[in-house]
Amino acid sequence: MNRRYLKAAALLVVLFAIFIPVYYAFSYGKGDGLEKTVSEGGGTGDESAWPGLLGYGDNPVATFAAGILGLGLALAAAYGVLRVTRAWRSGDGRKPHPDPPRP
């Protein structure tokens, strides 16, 4: 990954760190639109078939750590799936579509 992308990734981490206190001050623990709708309508829905390996954390430090982990996982998963898909196409003799000339 070149310097431009590293700078963009670093900017994301910085912005995330800046906005975590704002999130905790104004939004933490409050339900989203779906949760409010369901609770007001008398519905239920927390029988998790899979609780997840981790949570988002209940304090700014834990949430920051979860965010960095998620950022890395999303980056690696998107990049990895794309690489595998493109490699599979190449190995199959079906090259990825050639890039058209840039205007």
54 binds another protein (CB under 8 A): yes
Identify which of 26, 27, 25, 9 has the alpha carbon closest to the alpha carbon of residue 67: 9
Contact of 86 with 96, CB cutoff 8 Å:
yes
Contact of 21 with 60, CB cutoff 8 Å:
yes
Residue 61 — φ and ψ, nearest 5°?
A: -70, -45
DSSP state string for 76-103: HHHHHHHHHHHHHHHHTT-PPPPPPPP-
> Between 57 and 86, how does the x/- string for binding to another protein read (CB under 8 A)?
------x--xx-xxxxxxxxxxx-xxx-xx
Q: Identify the residue among 52, 91, 93, 101 touching another protein (CB under 8 A).
A: 52
Minimum distance of another protein from residue 60's CB (angstroms): 11
Of 40 and 61, the one with the shorter C-beta distance to another protein is 40
User: Which residue ranges make up the site for another protein (CB under 8 A)?
Assistant: 1-2, 5, 8-9, 12, 15-16, 19-20, 22-23, 26-28, 30-34, 36-38, 40-56, 63, 66-67, 69-79, 81-83, 85-86, 88-89, 94, 96-97, 99-100
